[in-house]
Amino acid sequence: MFGISPMQLVIILVIVVLLFGTKKLRGLGGDLGSAMKGFKKAMSDDDKEKDADADFVSKEKVEDKTTENAENVENTKSTVQQTKSEHKENS
C-alpha cells in the first residue's frame, strides 16, 4: 500500500543531491560514521570500566571520602559561624 519503488528512491536521492550537494553529503556521511565509531568505542570502554569497578572496591577509599566529607561539614559550619558573627558586629 505504501511501498516505495526503486524509481521513487532514485528520484528522492537526486533531489537530495541537488539540494545539499555532494561535498556536504560526503562530509555529513563522514561525520556520521565517526560519531558512530566514537559511540561504539565509548560503550565498549564503559563496559570495561564497569567490569573493573565491580571486581574490586577499596575500603580505604570509602573511609577517606567519609573523613573528607566530615571535614568539609566542619569547615562549612565554622565559616557560617564566622559570617554570622561578622554580620552581627557590622549591625
Note the pLDDT of residue 81: 78
pLDDT at 72: 73
CB-based contact 9:17 (threshold 8 Å): no
The span from the CA of 68 to the CA of 60, in Å, is 12
Write out pLDDT tens, residues 18-46.
999 999 999 999 999 999 999 999 988 87
pLDDT band at 73 (very low <50, low <70, confident <90, very high): confident
d(CA 53, CA 58): 10
Cβ atoms of 25 and 17 within 8 Å: the answer is yes
Distance CA 4, CA 50 (A): 44
Q: Is the pTM of this model over 0.75?
A: no
Q: How far is CA 12 from the centre of its chain?
A: 35
Instruction: Write down the mean pLDDT value for the chain.
Output: 79
